[in-house]
């Protein structure tokens, strides 16, 4: 991200494990302000050279959410166990899909991130009856 004079303010990139890497300038330069983007709070610091961004002490990592908005399913941690009973850590991730679902009661499409098991139930019951059964509203999941 560049300012009016073309100097770097903020650099973001995705790492291999789908985490957002935000690189900001050194903190001693002084905070100019911050702006919320989704669930992230990206910090805009004083304007300094882009070369200062690459130092490891200026890096922050924010995880990308892998949670079903309806059922609350999220990654589980456990072990891979070999035949020799060696244990290595592993993560079991839920099958999360971003879907556009038509809600006939509202007459419009709604974009939701949900697990495939929740998607099957939504196809069977409908979105609003399923949310009512769970005690949720449409505002809670979008």
**Per-residue model confidence as pLDDT tens digits over 65-79:** 899 999 999 999 999
**Per-residue model confidence as pLDDT tens digits over 74-112:** 999 999 999 999 999 999 999 999 999 999 999 999 999
CA distance 9 to 62: 18
Pairing verdict, β 31-37 and 11-14 = unpaired
Is the pTM of the predicted complex or chain greater than 0.75? Answer: no
Q: Looking at the predicted structure, is the pLDDT value of residue 38 above 90?
A: no
CA distance 128 to 138: 7
Please give the backbone phi and psi of residue 52, each rounded to the nearest 5 degrees, phi first: -75, -15
pLDDT band at 59 (very low <50, low <70, confident <90, very high): low
Domains and CATH numbers, the chain: 11-62 (no CATH), 76-141 (2.30.170.40)
Please give the backbone phi and psi of residue 58, each rounded to the nearest 5 degrees, phi first: -100, 10
3-state class of 135 per DSSP?
coil
DSSP string, 18-53: S-EEEE---GGG-EEEEEEETTEEEEEE----GGGG
């Amino acid at each position: 991200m560049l300012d009016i004079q073309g100097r770097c303010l903020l650099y973001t990139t995705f790492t291999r494990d789908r985490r957002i890497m935000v690189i900001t300038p050194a903190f001693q330069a002084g905070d100019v302000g911050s702006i919320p983007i989704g669930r992230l709070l990206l910090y805009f610091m004083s304007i300094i050279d882009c070369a200062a961004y690459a130092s490891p002490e200026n890096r922050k990592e924010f995880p990308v959410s892998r949670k079903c908005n309806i059922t609350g399913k999220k990654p589980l941690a456990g072990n891979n166990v070999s035949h020799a009973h060696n244990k290595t850590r592993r993560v079991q991730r839920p099958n999360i899909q971003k879907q556009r679902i038509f809600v006939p009661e509202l007459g419009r499409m709604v974009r939701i991130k949900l697990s495939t098991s929740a998607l099957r139930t939504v196809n069977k019951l409908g979105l609003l009856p399923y949310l009512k059964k769970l005690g949720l509203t449409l505002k809670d999941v979008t």
